[in-house]
Amino acid sequence: MIFNPRSCGMFVAPVAVAAACAAGLGSGCSKKVSPLPDGPSHSVRGQIEGLPVAGDARTFLRIHHEEIPGWAYEDGRTGMAAMVMPFPIDPGVSLEGIAVGDTVAFVVKQTPSTQPPWVITSITKLPAGTVLDFSGRGEPR
* pLDDT, position 19: 38
Tell me, what's the pLDDT at 141? 61
In a domain, 104, yes or no: yes
Q: What is the pLDDT, as a whole number, of residue 6?
A: 39
Say how many domains are in the chain.
Answer: 1
The CATH number of the domain where 97 resides is what? 2.40.50.320
Task: Determine contact, residues 132/46, Cβ cutoff 8 Å.
Answer: yes
Residue 44 lies in a domain: yes
- The pLDDT value given to residue 139: 64
120 with 93: CB under 8 angstroms? yes
pLDDT attached to residue 14: 37
What pLDDT score was predicted for residue 55? Answer: 86
Task: Give the pLDDT of residue 74.
Answer: 87
pLDDT score recorded for residue 3:
39
Q: Which is nearest to 121 in space by CA: 96, 98, 99, 88?
A: 88
Domain that holds residue 62: 36-125
Question: Per-block average pLDDT, block size 10, for the chain (141 residues)?
Answer: 41 38 40 54 98 91 97 91 96 96 98 92 97 82 61
The reported pLDDT for the residue numbered 136 is 78
- 134 lies in some domain: no
Q: Does 3 fall in a domain?
A: no
The verdict on residue 133 lying in a domain is no
Is residue 83, in this structure, part of any structural domain at all? Answer: yes
pLDDT for the residue 39: 87
Residue 93 lies in a domain: yes
Residue 141 covered by a domain:
no
